[in-house]
Amino acid sequence: MKKLILVCLGLITLISFPLNCYADEDGFGSVYDIVPDNVKDTLNDSDYQIESLQDVIDIISNEGIFSLVKIAFSDYSLPFETVATLVLILTINCSLQLLIDKPETKKIAQIICSLIICVIIAEPLKNIIISVTDCLNSSGVFMFSFLPIFASFLVTTNPGTSAVAYTATTYFFSELTVFISRSVLTPLSTCMFTMSVVSSVSDGIFNNLISGVKKLIIWTLGLVTSIFTAITSVQSIITSAADTVAIKTGKFIVGSSVPVVGGYVSEVMNTIIGSLTVMRSGIGLFAIIVMIIMFLPVTVELLMWKIGVKLCQVISCGTENEIGQNIINAFDDVITVMLSITICVFIGIVLSISSILVFGGVK
Amino acid sequence: MNIFSIIIVSVIVSVLAVLIKQNNPAYSVLLIVLFVVIITTVGINYLFDLTGRITESVGRISYAPEFLKILLKAIVICVLSDLASNICKDSGNGSLSVCIDVVIRIILLSLTLPIVEKLVEIIQGLFNL
């Protein structure tokens, strides 16, 4: 009887003082909180109202994943305006070479032109490096907060030791890639550009050192991508079985056009397509959208610069300004490295999320 | 002054200079110097017009007009110094010609100082990232 009374009292107490406990319906709230501010601003400025995970899924299912790409686009006229200015300066330099008789004065005029080319290039380069570093930082911070939340969701729904172990490994390498890119490769690229500038004006005194630094950057990037390829090779289960002609063509184009990491991107292309197929729904898709919004503007900007600089290189071949040509080539090298880093990190993150999804039991 | 008037006047001046040189070489040099000054003034007017247009077209890049002005200033200095140096050489003053060349190079190098300062500032900014 006493026990019954005690149970009744306990029940009454529980009913009298209710605890407001509820689960976040789809986990979107906690994930949305860790989205970087610039991505939140971009999403808020867009025509789409993303307030829940269902909104994301609706947009993708109604308009396709590339409908979100347009959110990330902005004005990319600056690279071409800068290139036009560079062409103008190179033309003025050519005129100067014709107007001046004395070789010494010619050389001074050439140095002045090259310094101006250098300043005009260096300012956008600084902004590019800032954009890439910010992007890497934001992605690192986002992944640092997102992956544990995401993994905990998956482990709760489908517990498994392999999922936890794989999550930890992927998470570690994803963070390592971001760290190496941000703390080693980006400063090395800056050093390479600075040395190239000095070397151009002083008869190539740093040429060997520059080629060494360039090799170091490419090797480091190659090592990182190799490690990632090794990890992602485990993911054959998410690889799309149909290796169609379109995918083969895509692989060839990517392999030959993307600098430095083209081979890697081509190698894991099936895995990327498989990953995107896996992430048709769920929080993983939202993470990919965040990554696209974060990385796409930087990548497109870098591509625009790459096209512009290539154009400038072609035009500068016809001029006699060797110093200017060397500076433009150095700028091209830095853009190439930055583009490679951006693509490499982006793909690494996409693969990390997808691998956790697969090993977490998402079908 | 169009290109035809410049050509005609230069031919006339050179013929006159040859004629005067036989009797009074000093006046011949003076005539040539005077003509060079007039022609250069005309040329520089065209250059200023060009400068204005170039500065307008690259106005979007905030620091470009500033440096383009320096570049165009350098062009003017180079051309004028070349002219002055050649005139000095023609009139037999080789040492004066060399002196002009040296001074002009120093002036040109001093012109590049703002560019070098800006470059150093940007590179410092790059390393502070």
Q: Widest CA span of chain B, in angstroms?
A: 72
CB contact under 8 A, A109 and B74: yes
Which of A252, A226, A347, A337 is closest to A291 using CA atoms? A347
Q: Classify residue A234 by its DSSP letter.
A: G
CB contacts of A99 in chain B (<8 Å) are: 75, 78-79, 82
> In the structure, what pLDDT confidence band is assigned to residue A272 with cuts at 50, 70 and 90?
low
- The number of residues in chain A equals 363
Interface of A with B (CB under 8 A): 78, 81-82, 84-85, 88-89, 92, 95-96, 99-102, 104-105, 108-109, 111-113, 115-116, 118-120, 122-123, 125-126, 129-130, 133, 186-187, 190, 193-194, 197
* Chain A nearest C-alpha distance from B50 (Å): 11
Does A16 score more than 60 pLDDT?
no
Does A43 score more than 50 pLDDT?
yes
Contact (CB, 8 A) for A129 and A186: yes
CB contacts of B56 in chain A (<8 Å) are: none
CB contacts of A120 in chain B (<8 Å) are: 61, 63-64, 67
Closest Cβ–Cβ partner in A82, A101, A112 for B82: A101
pLDDT of residue A73: 64
pLDDT in tens, A73-100: 666 777 888 888 888 888 877 877 777 7
- Helix intervals (H) in A158-181: 161-180
> In the structure, what pLDDT confidence band is assigned to residue A56 with cuts at 50, 70 and 90?
low
**What is the gyration radius of the CA atoms in chain A, in angstroms?**
26
pLDDT of residue B101: 86
pLDDT of residue B116: 84
Q: Tell me the C-alpha distance between A351 and A276, whole Å.
A: 9
Q: Identify each DSSP E strand in chain A by its residue range.
A: none
pLDDT of residue A334: 85
* Chain B nearest C-alpha distance from A337 (Å): 16
Q: Please report, for chain A, the start and end positions of each structural domain, with discontinuous segments joined by +.
A: 25-74+123-359
> In the structure, what pLDDT confidence band is assigned to residue A28 with cuts at 50, 70 and 90?
low
pLDDT in tens, A293-348: 788 888 888 888 888 888 888 888 777 777 888 888 888 888 888 888 888 888 77
> In the structure, what pLDDT confidence band is assigned to residue A240 with cuts at 50, 70 and 90?
very low
Query: What's the token pair of residue A5?
Result: 């009374």
Q: Tell me the C-alpha distance between A314 and B76, whole Å.
A: 28
Query: What's the token pair of residue A22?
Result: 């509820």
- Residue A21, classed as helix, strand or coil, is coil
More confident residue, A170 or A187: A187
> In the structure, what pLDDT confidence band is assigned to residue A280 with cuts at 50, 70 and 90?
very low
Please, what sign has the CA dihedral across residues A89, A91, A92, A98? positive
Does B3 score more than 60 pLDDT?
yes
Does B7 score more than 80 pLDDT?
yes
CB contacts of A189 in chain B (<8 Å) are: none
Which of B112, B116, B122 is closest to A122 using CA atoms? B122
More confident residue, A6 or A220: A220
pLDDT of residue A18: 44
CA atoms within 13 A on the CB side of A84: 13
- The number of residues in chain B equals 129
pTM: 0.71
CA distances from A363 to A48, A200, A283, A354, B99 (A): 28, 56, 14, 11, 84
Q: Which strand (E) or helix (H) includes residue A113?
A: helix A103-157
Mean pLDDT of A122-139: 83
CB contact under 8 A, B115 and A78: no
Candidate from A79-83, A138-142, B62-66, B99-103 with smallest mean pLDDT: B62-66
Query: What's the token pair of residue B66?
Result: 């500033």
Backbone angles phi, psi at B35, to 5 degrees: -65, -40
CB contact under 8 A, A115 and B60: no
Please measure the distance between the N-terminal and C-terminal CA atoms of chain B and give it in whole angstroms: 54
Mean pLDDT of A230-240: 53
Mean pLDDT of A350-355: 72
Q: Tell me the C-alpha distance between B86 and B93, whole Å.
A: 10
Q: Is A216 exposed, middle or buried (0-12, 13-18, 19+ CB in 10 A)?
A: middle
* Residue keyed to tokens 């939202």: A286
Query: What's the token pair of residue A321?
Result: 């300004």
Range with the largest mean pLDDT of A139-148, B94-103, B115-124: B94-103
Contact (CB, 8 A) for A263 and A226: no
pLDDT of residue A17: 47
pLDDT of residue A50: 64
**Percentage of chain A modeled with pLDDT above 90:** 0
Cα–Cα–Cα angle for A169, A172, A173, rounded to 5 degrees: 90
Candidate from A20-24, A141-145, A354-358, B38-42 with smallest mean pLDDT: A20-24
Q: Classify residue A318 by its DSSP letter.
A: T
Query: What's the token pair of residue B88?
Result: 């000095």
